[in-house]
Structure formats: C-alpha cells, structure tokens
Copies of this chain bind each other. A is one copy, B any other.
Amino acid sequence: MNIPTSNHPRVVIIGAGFAGIAIAKKLRNKNLQVVLLDKHNYHTFQPLLYQVATGGLEAGSIAYPIRKVIQEYKDFYFRLTSVKEIDTVNQKVISEIGDLHYDYLVIATGSKTNYFGNKEIERNAMSMKTIPQSLNIRSLILENFEQAVLVKDEAERNLLINFVLVGAGPTGVELAGALAEMKKAILQKDYPDLDIDKMQINLIQSGDRVLNTMSEKSSAEAEQFLLDLGVKIWKNVRVTNYDGKTVTTNSDLVFDTATVIWTAGVQGAKVAGLNAKSLVEKVERIRVNQYNQVVGYENIFAIGDIASMETELFPQGHPMMAQPAIQQGVLLGENLVNLIQNKPMKAFEYNDRGSMATIGRNLAVVDLPNYHFSGIFAWFVWMFVHLFSLIGFKNKAVVFLNWVYNYIRLDREGRLIVRPFKKRSFTTFTSDEI
C-alpha cells in the first residue's frame, strides 16, 4: 500500500464510520503510525440516509471527506480500498490494493443489510445502508412515478406506486413517514395526472410493535403518527419472499409492488480470516471483551456495530447504533495508547443517552433514560441532535438551511434522478455498482 516505514507502532483501522472516525481522532499525534482504510473516500452520516433517499437532502450534505478529517494528523494515512482478509499469523491486512502489516488492528467495518439468507429478496429488494444505495432508492421512487403516468393498466400502475417497507425500526419508520409526507405535499402536485390517493405505503413488522427497541410509549405514539400520515402498518407479519413483483408473507397477506425497501435486519460486515470462535453466528458480529479486544487475539480489536460485547445488560452485545460505536471508538483510542505505554486499560461501559426517531414534520418520539416525550418539542430535539452530530460546519449549515426551507415550503427539491437506477430485475448488477 506504499505506506512509509515508521519508528512508531502501526495501527490499522478498517472502516471510517462512527467508530472508526472516533478512534482516528483519538489517535491523532500519539506517536503512532495510523493507517485508516475505507471503501469510500467519505464518512457517511447514516441516520440521515432516509432523507437523501426521499429528496430532502443532497448526498454531499451528509458525507464528509475522510482525508479532510485527518488532514493535519502526523504519520497518519488514508487508503481507499476494500479489505479482503486478515492474516492474523503474519499480522497483515490483505486488501484489493495490496497487503499491509499491522502492529495493532482495529476492525470497525460496521454492519450490512441482513436478508436472513433469502437470495431472492436480496436480489429484488432495495437496501439503504450507503449513500449510493440511498440515491438508488431516490431514483427508483421517482422513476416509478414517471413510469406510472405512462401506464394505462390500473393494476400495473398500482404496482408502481405501492411501496412496501419491511422492518419498522427507526429506518423503516422514518422512511415511511418521509414517503407519506412526499405523497401529501409533493407527489400530489408533481403528478396531477395520477391519482395519488392510490399510492400506498405499507410498513411490515414481524414483531408486535414498531420501534421495538424503544419504549412502549414511543412505539404506540409513533404508530399513531404513522397511521395519521396514512401509512398502513402490518404487525406480526413476516415476509417470506419477494420475486420483484409480489411480496409473500407467513399469512395469506400478499403485496403486489415494484418496490420493496428492506430494513428488517442488519448483520456485522465481517472480515475473513478471524478464528471461528471469535465470531457470533447468524449476526456475524465479532466477539470482544470489555476492552473491545477480539476474543483470542492480543492486538486485534473490534468496535461499533461489528463488535459484540456480551454484558449483563446487553447479553447479545450493544445495540448497533451510532452511540455505542462512538463511545467504543473514543475509549479504545485511549486504551490503545495506554496499552502501548504498558498502562492499564479501562473497561467499556455504555452510557445510554437515550434514543429517538422522527416520523415526520413536528412528529418525533424521544426516550431519555428516565423520561419520554414526543411531538413537536421532540422533533426539534431530534433535529438539533442530528444537526450537531454532523461533521463539519458547512454540512451543518446546508442541512439546517434545507430543513428550514423544506419546513416552510413543505418541499423537497432533491427529487432528481441524477443517476437513473436500473432495477435489478432487469439486469444483474448490484446497486452499489451503478
């Protein structure tokens, strides 16, 4: 990878998501050589991907150049690549652009969509974990409507304007709300020759409530907000297949639709080469101890979504969200410096600051550790927390400006098909390649 040799121990970080960026910042100018690897040249603020998908924000507003983050860090390198495998015996990362020796390895590869092994759903449904995927969803939604105006057969037209979202976690709920608002405020006006009332937004959940990682109060309120917006909610329904036209379920229920957005599950974006016993089956996460040290290795660590730290409070690992990722990144940054200086490391303790989800204009739910609230104040809290979590002043300012504009004008001017999305059922390429 053409990294110069250094007198300092080399730390290789794989992934520049919340966890990777957090530790990168902590390792700044700490007498270490650091090499940060990512398959994108930007950090993605994933919680706002759904707004990119629905035309409320431009992709650039929630992305930040990784090289800019580390611009003034000494002996600090970024390489744009995908990691293929880890050679733990020779302490090497094997990537598309060559091998790299590490003294310490930090795996922060995050998570990817989990289709639970169903290849047909994977082929036909849309996923929303990256910016290209969000832009594909945006293109597909708009292409559906452009196509719908041309179609004379009603059943075929309904197929195009029927949206099925599988999974009612924060992503599914926020996307459903945003689609419902698009329907009301924009699509109605943009497509006067379509009967937009026929547009359906179906949210399918295998469990018995939406937002099932939040409080029951939040679930109930979010559900009511969604229903008020016209979203159809299907609880206790498990999707069994989607062939590109029809969603089948574990009941008699079927949905004819050209668009399924799958947010029903995530799994660790694991890297090959680790010991089998350090992996948690099915969820594909990496088992770590309280120092985020990968089980069975001295000098390999995992943080963020990919790491599963089994504690009393979290027997299956921490929730796969930004907060644990950032906190683990920050702590491991400090711990690594201590470890190298032979000082003791500190055990990770998750500081749960609460969780929140927005459903639409003036509608959000917030669970603080001891307090729950919802409605317009929750919505403002949601906005400002997200705004201030964005990296960079310009992104904050542009997002703020867009939100103010969208709020006042009830608009989303990002409804642009910049790169047409060719639906997978027509060709064979995957959404990331376009």
Contact = CB atoms under 8 A, between A and B. Distances in A.
A190 B67 contact: yes
B434 A98 contact: yes
B416 A394 contact: no
B402 A398 contact: yes
A409 B405 CA distance: 25
B60 A416 contact: yes
B96 A132 contact: no
A401 B394 contact: yes
A146 B190 contact: no
Contacts of A135: 418-419
Interface string A290-329: 0000000000000000000000000000000000000000
Copies in the complex: 2
B4 A193 contact: yes
Interface in A94-145: 96-98, 131-132, 135, 142
Contacts of A289: none
A58 interface: yes
Given A397-B405, A405-B394, A418 B146 contact: no
A409 B395 CA distance: 14
A59 B61 CA distance: 11
A98 B431 contact: yes
Interface string A319-349: 0000000000000000000000000000000
Interface residues of A, number: 56
A68 B416 contact: no
Contacts of A405: 393-394, 397
A247 to B, nearest CB: 27
Contact of A419 (B79, B132, B152, B193): B132
A260 B414 CA distance: 30
Interface string A43-59: 00000000000000011
Given A58-B61, A71-B190, A131 B418 contact: yes
Given A41-B146, A68-B190, A97-B150, A60 B2 contact: no
A152 B58 contact: no
A410 B402 CA distance: 23
Given A393-B405, A434-B97, A416 B59 contact: yes
A80 interface: yes
Given A58-B58, A142-B41, A65 B132 contact: no
B395 A413 contact: yes
Q: Which 9 A-B pairs have the closest CB atoms?
A: A58-B60, A67-B190, A58-B58, A80-B146, A42-B416, A394-B405, A97-B434, A41-B417, A71-B189
Interface of A: 1-2, 4, 40-42, 58-61, 63-65, 67-68, 71-72, 77, 79-80, 96-98, 131-132, 135, 142, 146, 149-152, 189-191, 193, 392-395, 397-398, 401-402, 405, 409, 411, 413-419, 431, 434
